[in-house]
Structure 1
Amino acid sequence: MLPLSEEVIRLDADAESPIDAIRIAGNLLVQAGKVELAYVESMVQAFQELGAYFVIAPGIALPHSRPDETVKEVCLSLVRLNQPVVFGHPKNDPVQLVCAIAGVDKKAHIQMLRSLASILSDEAKLNEIMRATTADHVLSTMQHS
């Protein structure tokens, strides 16, 4: 089960750049008390240093940083952008779905990545998420296998 709740889902957010998109997704986790602001900035820094490595599929980005003391609990946010944003990935741009993830340790981090990838690789579920009009709709789509 993914650590996802309505408070960390935002639909039709406006982002001018990849960094905006990462901060929107990260700040949802900060507001929910799950990570510190420093974690969001480390996600931005990872993007600036390493590029769009976390754009894992067409239109989908999973920004994250290394598990550390700025992560209070395993968590995930989901942001669907109003307009897709170019992250600089050679095959998977532009991005419209941004899921920020944070793990308390490497094992939890990898387990969450696997669970999320499994859901997002299901075309029917992904289409449902992209059409959803409420956070509750997204949540029920992602929680039911």
Structure 2
Amino acid sequence: MPTLSELIPAEAVRLDVAAADWREAVRAAGDLMVATGTSTGEYTTEMIENVEGNGPYIVIAPGFAFAHARPSPAVLKTGMSWVRLAEPVEFGHESNDPVSLVVGLAARDSGAHTEAMAALARLLGDPETERALREARTPEAVHAVLAGLDASQEQEERQEPEERQAGGGSAHKILTVCGNGLGTSLFLKNTLEQVLDRWGWTKYVTVEATDTISAKGKAGEAVAILTSGEIARTLGDVGVPVKVVENFTSTGEVDRILRDTYDVQ
């Protein structure tokens, strides 16, 4: 699978970009993917329409928006872009506005970028790495941080292969849900799996990232659904608890929600 630094080459990074509103910010991320041959301009339109239709659920952490849409013919290859704004803009999110970083994703399918999404979630959840990215002065400096993260992750996987394997035969399932099932839900899945690993529960609970339509059909298989406020309102009553997560990269928040779900003190 491609690494994060392979999906976000230095040519797909722009810093101190001027954007008058959230549409211009998303368009800047889309334009970079067009320039690197990842997608066409139609995909940029689809990313904007995704927010218009589903709300600002792509703002998954304070100051961070993850712009994407469903796989479509407008995606030429799986790739990403990185746009740091000169001035933050409002997306209309209740708690995570304003946004200063927009990462774009164009995916050919739901599987090719899974590990890169997990790496990006860990990156943005680490204060030191997040600060290094925020203070990077050039696209090459951003790319160097991403490449360094890839290298450290590969070493960790070689040292602890058994600990990173999901346990089979799990009794419980938790769904993480977003509008498309391949972007923000993967961020939340990774954060939840970090907490489950810390608890030693990976043998007993599996996590599946999915979209709103599939989630309604799969809800009966799950003990709970974790998602954003916007998607929770779209889902409505699905027969299982729907837990709202404000910051998809916060293990602390997800830990509290998991404790509430299982009544663990």
| Range class of TM-score, shorter chain | over 0.9
Paired AA for residue 71 in structure 2: P
Instruction: Report the 3-state secondary structure (helix = DSSP H, G, I; strand = E; otherwise coil) of the residue aligned with 1:82.
Output: strand
Counterpart for residue 181 of structure 2: none
When residues 111 and 39 of structure 1 are mapped into structure 2, their CA distance, relative to the original with a 3 A threshold, is: farther
1:142 alignment partner, SS class: helix
Q: Considering only aligned residues, what root-mean-square deviation do their CA atoms show, in Å?
A: 1.1
Question: Shift in Å at residue 113 of structure 1?
Answer: 2.7
Runs of at least 4 residues of structure 1 off by over 6 A?
A: none
TM-score between both structures, scaled by the size of structure 1: 0.95
Give the SS at the match of 1:68: coil
Q: Structure 2 residue aligned with 1:11, among 7, 10, 15? A: 15
Distance 2:120 2:108 in 1: 16
User: In the alignment, which residue of structure 1 is the partner of 2:121?
Assistant: 117
The secondary structure found in structure 2 opposite 1:90 is coil
Which letter maps to 1:12?
D
Instruction: For residues 79-124 of structure 1, give each alpha carbon's deviation from its aligned partner in whole angstroms, at most 9, with x where no partner exists.
Output: 0000011111111110000000111101125444322212111111
How many residue pairs match? The answer is 145
| The structure with more radius of gyration | 2
User: Equivalent residue for 2:144?
Assistant: 140
Indicate the SS of the match to 1:107: coil
Taking only the aligned residue pairs, the percentage that are identical comes to 37
Deviations 1:65-90 (A, max 9, x none): 00122111111100000001111111
- Structure 2 partner of 1:26: 30
2:105 to 95, 98, 101: 101
One-letter amino acid of the structure 2 residue matched with residue 13 of structure 1: V
**Distance in 2 separating the partners of 1:109 and 1:56:** 18
Listed as ranges, the gaps of 5+ residues in structure 1 are none
Amino acid aligned to 2:56? A
Listed as ranges, the gaps of 5+ residues in structure 2 are: 150-265
